[in-house]
Amino acid sequence: MGFTPLRLFLLFCFFATVAYWITGRTTAPEQIVRNPGKIYSTSSSKGRIAAKKARMDYFLRMLRDPVTGTIPHGIRDKELAFARALPKRLGVLSKTTGITDGTPFVWQEAGPTDVGGRTPRWR
């Protein structure tokens, strides 16, 4: 039985397939993605509970300190103090709140003014 180039090629393909199949099954079981579960509609009771938990997790991730993993004590008071220290501008604020500090609010239009965007088509 002689080894022709076709037989050698087929033999090589067979062993390559077996080697790929064996190494693909045993090397990285931690990389296999498991099914995370069902996705529920937010109109169902289970979906509302899941959405509420996801919303709370999101806000916890947004507010927590990355080093400690907790929300710092008194952070809301610090936010309010920072907001009170921001400079007040004349213009929009003076019309709504009556705050004036002499800083003019200058507005200069830029670009075309005749662009309508989406408008309904009337027949």
Q: Which domain, by its residues, includes 53?
A: 42-86
Give the model confidence (pLDDT) of 14-45 as tens digits: 888 888 877 765 545 555 556 566 666 667 77
Inside any domain, residue 103: no
Inside any domain, residue 46: yes
State the Cα–Cα distance between residues 14 and 3, nearest whole angstrom: 15
Most confident of 41-50, 66-75, 113-122: 66-75
Give the model confidence (pLDDT) of 66-98 as tens digits: 899 899 999 999 999 988 887 655 445 555 555
Question: Is the Cβ–Cβ distance between 65 and 72 less than 8 Å?
Answer: yes
Inside any domain, residue 23: no
Name the residue among 32, 56, 52 with its Cα closest to residue 44.
52
What is the reported pTM? Answer: 0.35
State the Cα–Cα distance between residues 73 and 63, nearest whole angstrom: 11
Question: Is the Cβ–Cβ distance between 101 and 90 less than 8 Å?
Answer: yes
Q: What is the CA radius of gyration of the chain?
A: 32
